[in-house]
Amino acid sequence: MAALPGVSHPAAATVPIGELSGRVVDVSGLCVTVAGLTSFTAVGDHVRVQTLDGRDVLAEIVAFRQGQALAMTYESIEGIGAGCPVFFALYGQEQRMNAVSGGLAVNESWIGRVVDPMGQPLDGKGPLLPSSNRQKRHAVPPAAADRARLGPRIDLGVKALNLFATCRQGQRLGLFAGSGVGKSTLMGMLARETACDVAVISLVGERGREVREFIEDDLGPEGLARSVLVVATSDSSALMRREAAYGAMAVAEYFRDQGKSVLLLMDSVTRFCQALREIGLSAGEVPATRGYPPSVFAALPRLLERAGPGRRNGQEQAGQMTALFSVLVEGDDQNEPVTDTVRGILDGHVVLDRAIAEAGRYPAINVLQSLSRSVPGCNSEAENELTVRARRLLAQWEDMRDLVRLGAYKAGNDAEADQAVQLGPQLETYLMQKKTEHVPLEDAFAGLAQLLGPGEAGESAAITGTQAVE
């Protein structure tokens, strides 16, 4: 029997104790209907369909209807016709889960590599080192009580984020943006600049050309050298695209559970949801919110909750998975259902703004709409005072920008407004950052303190490198 994809190494190839067969009785849309395996299989099981020209196509059972199993394929459905045999490998009870959920043989040799969701290399750099590890793609998050607390704040290397969405190790942030506003560029910056041991990057449903551009231009060789990329392009099946998210999460969990500080970057959660929508609708679910069936909104928190601190393990320091999930805000509509749900689950959000990008101010982060829920707890009082002042100035400048542009603003009537007109543009310029530039967290605060000068109580003089840790 051919090895199941994702279980290619002999150590994993927990040899099946037998094999059952059924038959394709119907092919429609993205689904094949299989007769004969119903009493032995469950939703989520993998089966192997033999095409008319003798190829093996991996498929997953997504539903049962009228005594027959509905399966979707991981590759193109072409070549499958009524009558094609379908095989289900039987494993012992213990090994069943491994085979079914497709464990990934993650190890250190994956760092610097690009793989598909089944763990097969896509970068032409030769095979990965074998491993007996089987990292479950569909793992469950640790129970809340078993989890370590968030770690100290993490240096993201990007001024606007370090200052206005200060993030702690193990925190999960959403990155909300329309298309072409600079998501990929920012993700590349984070992968290179963030103070972490390993970056795991999940690219879900991007076009092949975009993936290449991301690896070569945004990530660069130094970013790639400490990253693992799990990629399923837009032309791959909905199941593959779904697994690009689950697979990357499994890889990140592996490194986290070794005590490492991991940065997970997922681009994008929206495409993951669209893949789930395709699967759900093909399985016969009813579309509810904007065409998304209810199962999407059940799966989303189960995925996102897996990011975060690792399990507490006695005296040893638990690993941390800090995560940034990008959300494609369709039509720049912030109330779109995926946007809304993700915002509610995560510990903070960063908004990229088209108007800012159009004005050429990159990274196009809208500071006023972005927030991190661990602030102010993770910053010193002087730092909090600084960012509050900066936000107030930026908000006021935002209100007055048009007046100033029209020449309708008269200085001298309101000291605070005058200050906003003077400092607002300087702040905006300060937050601009070239994509190759690294600004450490402490320097970002020091630069802001210098720009704003002493506050009412002269607090900015008290800026130190302290960091509050719970």
Ligand X SMILES: Nc1ncnc2c1ncn2[C@@H]1O[C@H](COP(=O)(O)OP(=O)(O)O)[C@@H](O)[C@H]1O
**CB atoms inside a 10 Å sphere around CB 1:** 11
234 binds, among Mg ion, ligand X, none (CB under 5 to 8 A by kind): none
Tell me whether residue 435 is exposed, middle or buried, using C-beta atoms within 10 angstroms of its C-beta: 0 to 12, 13 to 18, 19 or more.
Answer: middle
Q: CB of 352: closest distance to ligand X in angstroms? A: 7
Which partner from the list ligand X, Mg ion, none does 435 bind, CB cut-off 5 to 8 Å by kind?
ligand X
* Nearer to ligand X (CB atom), residue 261 or residue 326: 326
| Candidate segments 78-86, 181-189, 278-286, 315-323, binder of ligand X by CB under 6 A | 181-189
Nearer to Mg ion, 14 or 184 (CB): 184
CA–CA distances in Å: residue 359 to residues 181, 250, 355, 356: 11, 39, 6, 5
DSSP state of 310: -
- Please tell me whether residue 267 adopts helix, strand or coil conformation: strand
Q: Which is nearer to Mg ion, 184 or 396 (CB)?
A: 184
Return the residues of window 320-379 that contact ligand X according to CB under 6 A.
Answer: 362-363
The H or E element that residue 185 is part of is helix 183-193
Q: Which of 158, 163, 177, 250 binds ligand X (CB under 6 A)?
A: 177
Q: CB of 266 within 8 A of CB of 325?
A: yes
Nearest to 105, CA basis, from 198, 243, 11: 11
Which helix (H) or strand (E) covers residue 264, if one does? strand 261-267
Part in contact with ligand X (CB under 6 A); list of ranges 145-153, 179-187, 421-429, 436-444: 179-187
Quick one: CA torsion of 406, 411, 415, 420, rounded to 10 degrees?
A: 30
183 contacts ligand X (rule: CB under 6 A): yes
21 binds, among Mg ion, ligand X, none (CB under 5 to 8 A by kind): none
Nearer to Mg ion, 64 or 214 (CB): 214
Instruction: Single out the residue of 101, 131, 184, 237 in contact with Mg ion (rule: CB under 5 A).
Output: 184
Kindly write out the interface string for residues 138-177 of this chain, putting x where it contacts Mg ion by CB under 5 A and - elsewhere.
Answer: ----------------------------------------
Pairing verdict, β 198-206 and 261-267: parallel
Q: Is 179 a binder of ligand X (CB under 6 A)?
A: yes
Q: Binding residues for ligand X, per CB under 6 A? A: 177, 179-185, 362-363, 435
Rule CB under 5 A: which residues touch Mg ion?
Answer: 184
